[in-house]
Amino acid sequence: MFMIVKKERLTPLVYRMEVEAPRVAESALPGQFLIVRTEEKGERVPLTISDYDPGRGTVTIVTQEIGASTKDICSFEEGQSFADVVGPLGMPSEFVGKTPEQLAGQRYVFIAGGVGAAPVFPQVKWLHSRGVPVDVIIGAKTSSLLIYKEEMAMCCDNLYICTDDGSEGFHGMVTGLLENLVLEQGRQYTMSVAIGPMIMMKFAALTAKRLGLPITVSLNTLMVDGTGMCGACRVTVGGKTRFACVEGPEFDGYEVDFDEAMRRQTMYRSEEKEAGPHICKIDIRN
Ligand code: NAD
Ligand code: FES
């Protein structure tokens, strides 16, 4: 159970793993996440689901080595098993609950920053398979850090690439490219979805607001239990406290207090460094 059936390195620090988890695969939907523990008493690491295949009984996770626990996950090889994979957790993306009539006439643009391209993928696939027009922007610091280009190209209408250093595609950040598409190239959208670093989602929301475009963001908050009991994942949305693990992770980007969310994200950073892999906190959903 929870055996890694396939492992690939996507960039020097980012790995994709297909993991046996039939019950999670059977009920997973775009937008949801799961919690992985490499050993019985290990840290509970929340990771967004990057794909799921009920036929094969597998789910796919994409993990960036950015701390002790993600390094631990990435060190697992094909044939080895995680102690626990719990999910699917959180609410599915809002469009999953829409009828074909409600989806008719919609045109989505997804804004994926860095590793955020992985959780964008199942959402794009879901909409594309239902005939909803979808454009995708993928941004990364440099060309070699772009992920999911080929996969995304196969299930979207238009794929737009940008890099901070101009090594591939548009020279600039995802927000600059979104503005360029709408203001310079006259692309029209009814909805946008941004997934990536918190700072990117903050500026994507500000940009979308300026363009009059609604936006959903997926919040990678601190998480501990992932079931609405501990309060670690609390965020302020529209002036109200919400729990990202059970009420999210997706929220209306106009309403999120990103500055507070970013402060909370860094709250345990020094403790994590000191404690190595054993501290009970998590802010590393990739
Ligand atoms: P990164 O820092 O390389 O940024 C990726 C892209 O985001 C950049 O190329 C740029 O286009 C855009 N961006 C970054 N800062 C921006 C700003 N201030 N304004 C506008 N655009 C900006 O990304 P990375 O290193 O791949 O990201 C890793 C982080 O993403 C981790 O902290 C991880 O937790 C988070 N993440 C979050 C989710 C989620 O569910 N929200 C999913 C995956 C990864
Ligand atoms: Fe504990 Fe959300 S992670 S309430």
Q: What is the pLDDT of residues 79-118, one digit of tens each?
A: 999 999 999 999 999 999 999 999 999 999 999 999 999 9
Q: Phi, psi (5° rounding) for residue 175?
A: -65, -40
> Among candidates 127, 269, 227, 145, which has minimal Cα distance to 136?
127
pLDDT band at 272; cut points 50, 70, 90: low
Query: Mean pLDDT, the chain, as a whole number?
Result: 92
pLDDT at position 266: 80
Residue 141 half-sphere exposure toward CB, CA atoms < 13 A: 4
pLDDT band at 273; cut points 50, 70, 90: low
* Residue whose CA is at the smallest distance from ligand 1 atom 29: 197
Ligand 2 pocket residue status of 276, Cβ below 6 Å: no
Residue 40 half-sphere exposure toward CB, CA atoms < 13 A: 0
> Is 15 a residue whose pLDDT tops 80?
yes
Ligand 2 pocket residue status of 228, Cβ below 6 Å: yes
Q: What is the pLDDT of residues 41-83, one digit of tens each?
A: 888 899 989 999 999 999 999 999 988 888 999 999 999 999 9
Ligand 1 pocket residue status of 277, Cβ below 6 Å: no
> Which amino acid type is present at position 19?
V
Kindly state the average pLDDT of the residues 236-244.
96
Task: Say if residues 232 and 222 touch (Cβ distance below 8 Å).
Answer: yes
> Among candidates 280, 246, 222, 225, which has minimal Cα distance to 69?
280
